[in-house]
Structure 1
Amino acid sequence: MSNTYPQARILTKINDPLHIIKTRQITHNRPVTIAGPMVRYSKLPFRQVCRHYDADIVYTPMILAREFVRNCHARIADFSSNESDSPLIVQVGVNNVTDLLRFVEMVSPYCDGIGINCGCPIKEQIREGIGSALIYNPELLSSMVSAVKEKYGDKVRLETKIRIHDDWDQTVDLCHKLCDAGVDWITIHGRTRTTRSSVPVNLDAIKYITDKIKAKSNVPVIANGDCFSMRDLQKIVDYCGVDGVMAVRGLLDNPALFSGYDKCPWGALELFWHYAMEFGGLPHQLLLHHLHCMFESMGLEKSLHNELMNIRTTTELIEWFDSHFVLKRFGEIGFSEAVDIPFKHASKV
């Protein structure tokens, strides 16, 4: 199931995501912070960096249930975890009850909750009845939620991450069905299936739907979309009345977002290098893209950025870092503490 085969988990107040969502405002005087699922990018090393910088709950990338339950190679490739990777939500792309129940049986001992992807707008997934196709099939989606909750009850936490309909009341009706089916919390991405990410998230829609949900149930609601700073987070919570915020693209550039950093600190990059080397399993291009995104947030000078993107091997990448920057390793004094880029030579910003 994973590279390290953590022991099976039992939900406690420490790792129960529903308890965390409901109590974070009381225990930490702030809303719950969630690192959402990103295709390819929400792998174990990056998840651990987000946790270091105050992400309360972290998601895996979407895993296709159909492949996972049938193919051992897919299981090895798609899911790795360890004892410190908690609270963890495994997101699943699924279009039928049978595959979902098999998926939950296999994955739930190694995570703290399952999230059904009802928001992915990719056409190939929609054709398969996966992702945002599910918000137009409320009976199927509700039946999948009911099947899991009837079998596992509170032993398995179950979330649905949805997009909005053009008719907001259609989304409200869907959410009421999900609440009746037993969903533990709902994440609302404030865009429709066809809305581009360049279009601002619709906070009015999230507020409207959240108000309607809370009028009939105590199911928590999480807002998703356009959270790039703690100012954004507070604005979204105050306006929409949600229980917390999920960031996705904002964390890719700045995994320290939830700790109040306006740009990625150098310490986050050192941590990412450490976890990437300790856990392994990241292809070079994925490692490179993470570093590219973080450096963009830091404002690295263009010529160095171009050099970075032309590096073809991880060994060469490490050598390039050591030639240009003071890259501290785990155990060295000051590891993961620097904020600004520590150039070895004259400033390049």
Structure 2
Amino acid sequence: MSIDIVEILKEPKMTKVCAPMVRYSKLQFRTLVRQYDCDICFTPMILADSFIQSEKARDNEFSTNTGDKPLIVQFAAKNVYDFLNATELVAPYCNGVDINCGCPQRWALKEGYGADLLKKPDLVKDLIYQVRNRIPHPFTVSAKIRLFKDIHKTIDFCRILEKAGASFLTVHARTPEMRCEPIDLNNLKLVRDSVKLPLIANGDVKSLESAENLYKESNCDAVMSARGILTNPALFSGYSVTPLDCIQNWLDITSTIPTQFICFHHHLVFMLEKILPKKNRLFFNSLQNKAAVLEFLKDTYGIKPNNNSKSFDLIKCIFNTSHKKYNKDIAKDDDDLSMNFLGNIFTE
């Protein structure tokens, strides 16, 4: 039986969610956080048009295994065709899709993605409606949004999506113009009181305590963490900093699932941020290859990959694109697929 994410969100407890983080919330990291009480994971934001047009994009941007559930695939899309077709490709391998309506990066706004969609409620309504009517329950279709400066516009936007058939919404309680300012809890609570849909609250979840406080104060159904869980993947288990067994698990996972060095190393840089003394941290951050990283971890903590670690076999995803047509004139060059993802991953 398929997993029903809505039923999970309706359970009388705090549901814990790993955010869609560009370049970082990929299969390896999702596998790690699921070992530490994370209930639902999102993929990184994926450009829907590139995904349906390019085999290379599909291979680079999406992978999964049997333990990778519940899973929501987040897409950036600006027309129904791309969102619907990309959804149909991934539907056999996930439990729902999400449309990004919150990314405030300039490239996204310029291209008509992310927070630019907040100005186009009719389009987002159609995106939700078309997927909802094409793929049956319990598969979910949702949106991740930011707040308008005018809270009444936020409420109206959410109600439009609710009527269109959205399964749930994730609300980052900042406007697109806000960066490191505290979240707007009061307006988040107004949104909660104005719609019947399950809501995931996002913003400033940096510890289990802050997650529980946001859950209680907002009255939302779930909480989502981005920066906090990246720095401490065991956050939802109550650890104040990354425990050494979490680092051990990361070594085991990445020794089984093929992982590029930059991904392998960057996650460790985040995990060790609050553990290593500054001098050691600067040295570790400058390491240039996996052998050097493993040597450092062995010398410093006595940690090395476990040769008898659990296998995390990948699912071979078969994407039937034979009936998909697209305009080759607007197809993106494979080499440019990720060039727009080099900004601040935490702005969304």
TM-score by structure 2 length?
A: 0.86
* TM-superposition CA deviations, 1:232-280 (whole Å, max 9, x none): 1121121111111011110000111111111111111111111112101
Look up the match of 1:240. Answer: 218
Q: Give, in whole Å, the separation in 1 of the partners of 2:50 and 2:297.
A: 38
Q: What displacement does 1:328 show?
A: 4.7
Q: Give, in whole Å, the separation in 1 of the partners of 2:182 and 2:306.
A: 40
Q: Do residues 19 (structure 1) and 16 (structure 2) align? A: no
Q: Give, in whole Å, the separation in 2 of the partners of 1:95 and 1:211.
A: 29
| AA at the equivalent of 1:125 | A
Look up the match of 1:314. Answer: 290
Q: Which has the higher contact order (CA 8 A, sep 6+)?
A: 2
Q: Do residues 294 (structure 1) and 271 (structure 2) align? A: yes
Query: Aligned residues, how many?
Result: 309
Q: Give, in whole Å, the separation in 2 of the partners of 1:211 and 1:52.
A: 33
Moved over 3 A (4+): 328-333
Q: What displacement does 1:323 show?
A: 2.2
Tell me: CA distance 1:332–1:104, structure 2 relative to 1, closer, same or farther (3 Å). Answer: closer
Look up the match of 1:323. Answer: 299
Look up the match of 1:49. Answer: 32
Q: Give, in whole Å, the separation in 2 of the partners of 1:31 and 1:323.
A: 39
CA RMSD, Structure 1 to Structure 2 (Å): 1.4
- Aligned 8 A contact 2:297 2:304 in 1: no
Identity %: 35
- More moved, 311-320 vs 244-253: 311-320
Structure 1 residue corresponding to 2:236, chosen from 258, 261, 277: 258
Look up the match of 1:139. Answer: 122
Structure 2 residue corresponding to 1:77, chosen from 48, 53, 60: 60
Q: Give, in whole Å, the separation in 2 of the partners of 1:313 and 1:251.
A: 25
| AA at the equivalent of 1:278 | T
Q: Do residues 223 (structure 1) and 211 (structure 2) align? A: no
1:107-256 alignment, distance < 5 Å: 107-196=90-179, 198-213=180-195, 217=196, 219-256=197-234
- Aligned 8 A contact 1:254 1:297 in 2: no
Q: What displacement does 1:230 show?
A: 1.5
| AA at the equivalent of 1:195 | M
Q: What displacement does 1:43 show?
A: 1.2
- Aligned 8 A contact 1:119 1:131 in 2: yes
